[in-house]
Chains A and B, each alone.
Chain A
């Protein structure tokens, strides 16, 4: 298990965008995802589609229709997909106004569990989801409009 903290990426009136960074690392999971594909001649456009979707959500809100459910039934793990090609970014949609983005990649297997990297990205978010939900239940963490309150510098064991 590694410790991770939640970082703020952008805040607008409609939505708060967050990501995570693991202890000892200098790049967040979101940066790692973008850097993987930003100079890839084949995947660059697909990456732009996903990022423009996020930009739209920062204006219109984190609408559920933009996501594909991923993970297990009871967890909040969703994917922002590019359907024709399989590139996807795994996220936790915490509310209509709060989105935590993780890492992602190209899904070339039938199930994400069959891909070691994708499975790892999903598991990380599943663990974070479970821990956040527990904190929300005790009241130590609150989702208030576009903000996640109570997680400043809080380390999560993922």
Chain B
């Protein structure tokens, strides 16, 4: 198959140039999303259930799980409280 060499080089260049703090932020966001997905699975809850018990919209819950959401501490606390387990440990 034909390669998009230009595209590949550009893609890698942009990834390389991404500031480390942004990379770390995205890694944190994705880890939190994965942890939350695991929690939901363990409790047999859907995204819709999570929306209902947190008083948020399904669209917002979808954003939480998308892997790039910039969570506030308040939101992390809210989710941790309703799920009965801390989402993050310090």
Q: Which A residues contact B (CB, under 8 angstroms)?
A: 5-10, 19, 21, 27-28, 30-31, 34-35, 38, 45, 47-49, 51-56, 63, 65-68, 81-83, 148, 151-153
Specify which of B7, B10, B37 is in contact with A7 (CB 8 Å cutoff): B7
Q: Are A53 and B18 in contact (CB under 8 A)?
A: no
Would you give the shortest CB distance from A74 to chain B, in whole angstroms? 20
Given A45-B22, A65-B37, A52 contacting B15 (CB threshold 8 A): yes
Do B8 and A52 touch (CB < 8 A)?
no
Contact at B15–A51, with CB atoms within 8 Å?
yes
B63 CB to nearest A CB, Å = 5
Q: Closest approach, in angstroms, between the C-beta of A6 and any C-beta of chain B? A: 7
Q: How far is the CA of A67 from the CA of B68 in the complex (A)?
A: 11
Most chain A CB neighbours (cut-off 10 Å) among B3, B7, B8: B7
- Cα A31 to Cα B13 with chains together (Å): 12
| Interface of A: prevailing SS | mixed
Contacts A10-B11, A49-B68, A52-B18 hold; do A153 and B6 have CB atoms under 8 A apart? no
Measured between beta carbons, the chain B residues less than 8 angstroms from A63 are 67
Given A38-B14, A56-B26, A56-B30: A9 in contact with B67 (beta carbons within 8 A)? no
Contact in complex: A34, B10 (CB < 8 Å): yes
Binary CB contact string for chain B from 56 to 90 against chain A (1 if under 8 A, 0 otherwise): 00000011011111000000000000000000000
